[in-house]
Amino acid sequence: MTDPFFKDESKPVSPEHSDPPAPDSRSPMGDSKFENNPLQDDRRMASIMAYIPFLCFVPLISMSDNKEVRFHARQGVFLFIIELIAVFFLIDAVSNLFFKGILIIAISFSVAGLIFAFQGKMQKLPIVGDLIDKSKL
């Protein structure tokens, strides 16, 4: 219990005897590519802003000529749309209606498939047949 948490706490070090930290070869500070450049900072802030809901459209509109910012902005807008859909389905009445509709459509397609199979036809079901062809199931 008397041992210090950090080993250096027990011995005071004077500032004259302390060695400067060795430069880290992985540190981006020494690389000229990552210097503090106002233009680079604007791009970085725009890329960060792309993932914040409701603000994702700002970089898409304001810096659409930059490839990196446009990349992040497009992903951010896509994620924002998914978030809106998820919030929309948190409403019980909407989600119940949606899933009941999906169930009715699935049962209808199953009945149509049964009828086609009974008749000996190889008929693609709408939407489902195309998805199966694309997925190579």
Residues 120 and 101 in one domain: yes
Is this prediction's pTM over 0.85?
no
Residues 108 and 130 in one domain: yes
Average pLDDT, the chain: 79
Number of folded domains in the chain? 2
Q: What is the dihedral of CA 110, 111, 117, 118, to 10 degrees?
A: 160
Please check whether residue 65 lies inside any domain of the structure: yes
Residues 67 and 53 in one domain: yes
Q: Which pLDDT value is given to residue 80? A: 93
Residues 46 and 83 in one domain: yes
**Digitized pLDDT (tens) for each residue of the chain, 137 residues in all:** 555 555 555 555 555 555 555 555 444 444 445 456 666 888 888 888 889 888 888 888 888 788 888 899 889 999 999 999 999 889 888 889 999 999 999 999 999 999 989 998 888 888 888 888 888 76
Tell me the residue range of the domain where 84 lies. Answer: 42-88
Please check whether residue 81 lies inside any domain of the structure: yes
Please check whether residue 31 lies inside any domain of the structure: no
Largest CA distance in the chain: 94
